[in-house]
Amino acid sequence: MTVNQYRSVGSRVFDAINIAVLVGLGMITLLPLLYVLAGSFASESEISSRTFFLWPEKFVTSTYEYIFATDVFIRALLTTIGVTIVGTVIQVALTLTMAYPLAKRYLPGRTLVLNLVIFTVVFSGGIIPTYLVVRDLGMLNSYWALILPLAINPFYLIIVKSFFQELPEALEEAARIDGATEMGVFFKIVLPLSKPIIATFSLFYAVGIWNDYMSPLLYIDDSSRWTLQVLVRQLTGADAQNALSAMETVFFPTQGLKFAVVVIATLPILCFYPFLQKHFVKGVLIGSVKE
């Protein structure tokens, strides 16, 4: 019975269908991305004449050459890279420093702080009051507006806190007995042990800032401070033709250009992805299984 149950006809049919459906899901994920990649290297006439293709008949790089010779684009790319790097460092630093004390069960006031944090997940001031705070701080049209309002993600904070709680207390005790200060324990014992989780949440935070469209939409009017996501929107949205009037002299939104911009905005994420996949699965599991 134990061995045979996987050999019955019904069971085999189930397996066949199961495999077919799952492979299909994988394809649905992959194909649009491959099409955009292929299209970005295809000529304008090929894009309009062929419905769907994964390999361009004639391989051209003129779109990319054009893009990388354009100020607007270079500026948006550098802005996004800069904001992502600075933002991620700030976010990870703030999350780690706040999570560590919250992991100490003996710390008076810990529960109060945790409840204050969790409350912000359930209820918030919302778009307009937050906008007014950012405005009152003089951060409109400043890169800080893309970073500081998102400095700590409460979910990530809680997961990192749970991770710190699981670290063996004995290690810290031993360090203290050897004369290490609280700061010494944090920097020399706890942080080195937390590399996987730091890698995971650095990736999550970096992706969050890189992909953020709402903050620039809310807080940035100045087109010289546009991020990549705003540019993607401007070039590929439904109203691309109208929205482009501001920069029409610089850019002509051909289909190939749209494809190429999507590729460039996606590529860095897909490049890091394989290296970090192992880590993030582990990182998420730490958070979800332990509650």
Partner 1 sequence: MATDLAPPPVKAAKVAGHKPDRARTLWRYRWLYLLLIPGLAYFFVFKYVPMRGLQIAFQDFVPFLGYNGSEWVGFKHFVDLFTGPDFNRLMYNTLYLAFLNVIFVFPAPIIVALMLNELRINILKRSVQSLIYIPHFLSWTIVASLTYILFSVDYGVLAGWVHEFLGGQKIDYVAQPDWFRPIIILQTLWKTTGWTTIIYLAALAGVNAELYEAARMDGAGRWRQLWHVTLPAIRPTIVVMAILMSGNLLDMSFEQIWLMTNNLNRGTADVFDTFVYYVGINQGAFSYATAVGLFKGVVGVLLIFGSNWLAKRLGQRGLF
Site for partner 1 in 184-243 (CB under 8 A): 186, 207, 210-214, 217-218, 229-230, 232-233, 236-239
- List all residues 6 or more positions away from 48 whose beta carbon is below 8 Å from its beta carbon: 255
- The binding track of 267-286 with respect to partner 1, each residue x by CB under 8 A or -, is --xx--xx--x---x--xx-
**Minimal CA–CA distance to 33: which of 276, 281, 270?**
270
| Beta carbon nearer to partner 1, 71 or 126 | 126
Count of chain residues binding partner 1 (CB under 8 A): 98
Residues 68-107 that bind partner 1 (CB under 8 A): 93-95, 97-98, 100-102, 104, 107
Q: How far apart are CA 131 and CA 226, in angstroms?
A: 18
Report in angstroms how near the CB of residue 286 gets to partner 1 at its nearest.
10
- The binding track of 139-178 with respect to partner 1, each residue x by CB under 8 A or -, is ---------xx-xx----x---------------------
Candidate list 108, 170, 178, 249; residue touching partner 1; CB under 8 A? 108
Q: What is the 3-state secondary structure (H, E, C) of 119-159?
A: HHHHCCCCHHHHHHHHHHCCCCCCHHHHCHHHCCCHHHHHH
Report in angstroms how near the CB of residue 254 gets to partner 1 at its nearest.
11
Q: How far apart are CA 244 and CA 233, in angstroms?
A: 10
| Beta carbon nearer to partner 1, 47 or 189 | 47
Terminal Cα-to-Cα distance of the chain (whole angstroms):
37
Which stretch of DSSP H or E encloses residue 13? helix 9-40
**Minimal CA–CA distance to 159: which of 200, 192, 115?**
200
Residues 245-264 that bind partner 1 (CB under 8 A): 255, 258-259, 261-262
Q: How many other CB atoms sit within 10 Å of the CB of residue 104?
A: 15
Candidate list 54, 78, 111, 125; residue touching partner 1; CB under 8 A? 125
Report in angstroms how near the CB of residue 231 gets to partner 1 at its nearest.
9
- The binding track of 13-52 with respect to partner 1, each residue x by CB under 8 A or -, is -xx--xx-xxx-xx-xxx-xx-xx--x-------xx--xx
57 binds partner 1 (CB under 8 A): no
Q: How many other CB atoms sit within 10 Å of the CB of residue 256?
A: 25
- Secondary structure tally for the chain: helices H, strands E: 15, 0
| Beta carbon nearer to partner 1, 35 or 66 | 35
Which stretch of DSSP H or E encloses residue 21? helix 9-40
Report in angstroms how near the CB of residue 84 gets to partner 1 at its nearest.
12
